[in-house]
Amino acid sequence: MASIKVESPGKRKRGLALDQLRTVGLVLAIVLSGLVFQSQRSAFFSSENVLTLLRSMSSLGIMAFAQMLVILLGEIDLSVGAIYGLSATTLAVLWLGGGALPFHVPFIFALMAALLVAVAIGAANAFLTSVVKIPSFIATLGFLSLAQGSELLLSNASTFNPAYNTPLPSRGELRFFHILGGSQLPLGIPIQVGWLAAMLCLFLFLRHRTLFGFRLVAIGGNPTAAEIARLPIRKYKFVVFILSALMAALAGILDFSYVGSVGPNSGGSLVFPVIAAVVIGGASLNGGWGTIPGTLLGATLLAVLANGLALLGVGAFAQLLFVGFVTIGAVTLDRVTRQLANRRSSRVTK
């Protein structure tokens, strides 16, 4: 039998304070690490470097926003890194020819096919999770491997570079391709920063201003109650997993456009930072808690560290160590604060 659990009326304020504390803490961490880097390399806060930093975090941010919705539902999507690579490769192989395919198609069709592949994987993830009821950890882990394998088979593990391809694509197509992710907006702002801002707005509204976001919070917070209240749980899972896959594809294609080439196994290392950004941003892997601004801050912190450490000349391998430490540290700190705040529970468990 459930015991009567009554909590003090101060809880709301404490909850809010905790939320704000986390935000303030994240901003502080970002500013502090920025200042440390600045003191070592004066170029850190230059407008040029800030734009570079923002551009470099655009893929991470776009994928993390969608991942946050998945995690808000109490699920997880591990296949995003593989979808990132598979979409870019699908675009390249279909558009440029080569790889395992004997033909090629106009850019626009290749682009649509690349996005469709992502939608299909997202839908399959949702189907396995919500209909077959496989834990999303397993279902998306399976698709991580499936997508990676398909990518390698499709491309014959070769690298594609549109500008030096034979036959050379038409100039219009090349131009359009370049504009997607490699061009600049006015004031020298990389277009990827524009994409990041656009997706930030989209997800900010989706999560915080729509019925969709409202019900996501409910479904993730208490799936049983959501079922009793007859919320469209299955439909929402499909939408969220498809969004996550689509954002991974978008990020993959934008980076392909920016870099100008795509090689085998690109994006494979993105899963960890994406999930780390969401978790550092305060989302709970149990579902029901998580905000887009938090996720943005989480992604920013990771990007600042990567950028600053690169400026200091710390190698990529050592950077991995830092990212690991920061992720564990941030979540530990969060947990400890929460436990301190909840310590006044009268219930003694042995």
C-alpha to C-alpha distance for 16 and 299, rounded to whole angstroms: 22
Calpha distance 124→335 (Å, rounded): 34
For the chain, first and last CA: distance in Å?
19
Could you give the CA distance from residue 74 to residue 145 in angstroms, rounded to a whole number? 22
The least distance separating other proteins from the CB of residue 204, rounded to whole angstroms, comes to: 13
Sort residue 101 into left (φ over 0), alpha (ψ -120 to 50) or beta.
Answer: beta
Question: Which span sits near other proteins by CB under 8 A: 94-102, 107-115, 325-333, 341-349?
Answer: 341-349
Q: Closer CB to other proteins, residue 8 or residue 39?
A: 8
Spatial separation of the C-alpha atoms in residues 239 and 246, rounded to whole Å:
10
State the nearest-atom distance from the C-beta of 331 to other proteins, in Å.
18
CA distance 89 to 146: 14
Q: Please select the residue that binds other proteins; options are 225, 318, 321, 336, rule is CB under 8 A.
A: 225
| 48 CB-near residues (< 8 Å, 6+ apart) | none
Site for other proteins in 135-194 (CB under 8 A): none
Q: How far apart are CA 170 and CA 161, in angstroms?
A: 14
Closest by CA to 331, choosing from 17, 3, 13, 26, is 26
Kindly state whether residue 343 participates in binding other proteins, applying the rule CB under 8 A: no
Binding to other proteins (CB under 8 A): which residues in 8-37? 8-12, 15
Q: What is the DSSP letter of 20?
A: H
Q: Which is nearer to other proteins, 284 or 337 (CB)?
A: 284
Alpha-carbon distances of 198 from 127, 193, 203, 301, rounded to whole Å? 29, 9, 9, 20
Phi, psi dihedral angles at 3 (to 5 degrees): -80, 160
- The size of the interface with other proteins (CB under 8 A), counted in residues, is 39
Residue of 215, 259, 264, 323 that binds other proteins (CB under 8 A): 215
> Given the rule CB under 8 A, which of 48-56, 110-118, 166-174, 214-222 is the region that contacts other proteins?
214-222
Q: Exposure of 75 by Cβ count < 10 A (0-12 exposed, 13-18 middle, 19+ buried)? A: buried
Q: Which of 162, 282, 288, 298 binds other proteins (CB under 8 A)?
A: 288
- Cα distances from 29 to residues 18, 104, 247, 292, in angstroms, run 16, 48, 27, 18
Q: Which stretch binds other proteins (CB under 8 A): 42-50, 148-156, 207-215, 241-249?
A: 207-215
Query: In angstroms, what is the minimal distance from the CB of 131 to other proteins?
Result: 17
Region binding other proteins by CB under 8 A among candidate stretches 29-37, 238-246, 258-266, 340-348: 340-348
Asked if 335 interacts with other proteins (CB under 8 A), we say: no
Query: Does residue 230 interact with other proteins by CB under 8 A?
Result: yes
Q: CB of residue 223 vs other proteins: minimum separation in angstroms?
A: 10
CB of 115 to other proteins, least distance (A): 22
214 sits near other proteins (criterion: CB under 8 A)? yes
**DSSP helix/strand/coil, 336:** helix
Give the one residue of 48, 188, 228, 315 binding other proteins; rule: CB under 8 A. 228
Q: How far apart are CA 219 and CA 228, in angstroms?
A: 11
Of 222 and 261, the one with the shorter C-beta distance to other proteins is 222
Cβ proximity to other proteins, 3 vs 166, nearer residue = 3
| Least gap, CB of 14 to other proteins (angstroms) | 9
CA angle 92, 95, 99 (to 5 degrees): 55
Least separation, in Å, of the C-beta of 300 and other proteins?
25
Query: Which stretch, 46-54, 125-133, 134-142, 229-237, contacts other proteins (CB under 8 A)?
Result: 229-237
127 scored as a contact of other proteins (CB under 8 A):
no
User: In this structure, what are the phi and psi dihedrals at residue 290, rounded to the nearest 5 degrees?
Assistant: 155, 140
Chain contacts with other proteins (rule: CB under 8 A): 1-12, 15, 209-215, 217-218, 220-222, 224-225, 227-231, 288-289, 346-350
